[in-house]
Amino acid sequence: MSSDIDGAEFGASDVEVLAREPLYRGFFRMELLRYKHRKYASGWSSVVTRELLYRGQAVGALLYDPVTDRVGLVEQIRPGTLEAESGPWCLEVVAGIMESGETAEAVAWREIQEEAGLVPVSLEYICEYYPSPGGCDEHMHLYCGLASLAGVDGELHGLDSEEEDIRLLTFPVEEVFGALYSGRFNNAATLIALQWLQLNIQRLRAQGLPE
Q: Which amino acids are annotated catalytic?
A: 162
- Cβ neighbourhood burial of 64 (10 Å; 0-12, 13-18, 19+): buried
CA 20 to the chain's CA centroid: 27
Phi and psi at 63, nearest 5°, equal -100, 135
d(CA 192, CA 172): 18
d(CA 87, CA 95): 20
d(CA 129, CA 195): 15
